[in-house]
Amino acid sequence: MSKKPQDDIKEIQSLENKYGLVLFRMALTHLFDAGVRNVTDDSVEEGIKQITAQGELDKTNGVKPIMTPEFQCEILRCSAELAKFTIWTLFRYIKKYVVVDN
């Protein structure tokens, strides 16, 4: 049986309680920052090459992926553009405009 989203929220809250608000926020920032630092023009282009090659292989083998290679490449391109913003700007945007539902 998989965990429920509420269980994850409780676990995250326990981490915030364990480490304290300041350290917890810094850890979130680090997590996002580490991801952002890994989104470079080179990594995006390399990712696009890999996705395109896999897409050709899938097509040859008759595999139909859930996401098309084109869609996957757009995700990489969008992430590269988002990486130009500060972490806190992204957090503020998510808090205000990104609706998250179970």
> What is the value of pTM for the model shown?
0.75
d(CA 50, CA 44) in angstroms, rounded, equals 10
Write down the pLDDT at residue 88: 87
- Which tokens belong to 78? 């969008």
Dist CA 26 CA 55 (whole Å) = 38
Annotate 40-71 with DSSP letters as a single string. Answer: -HHHHHHHHHHHHHHHHHHHHHT---SS-HHH
Nearest-10 crossing angle of helices 41-61, 69-82: 170
| Predicted local distance difference test score (pLDDT) of residue 4 | 78
Amino acid 37: pLDDT: 87
Per-residue pLDDT for the chain (102 aa), expressed as one digit of tens each? Answer: 467 777 888 998 999 999 999 998 888 888 888 888 889 889 999 999 999 999 999 999 999 999 999 999 999 999 999 989 988 899 999 989 988 776
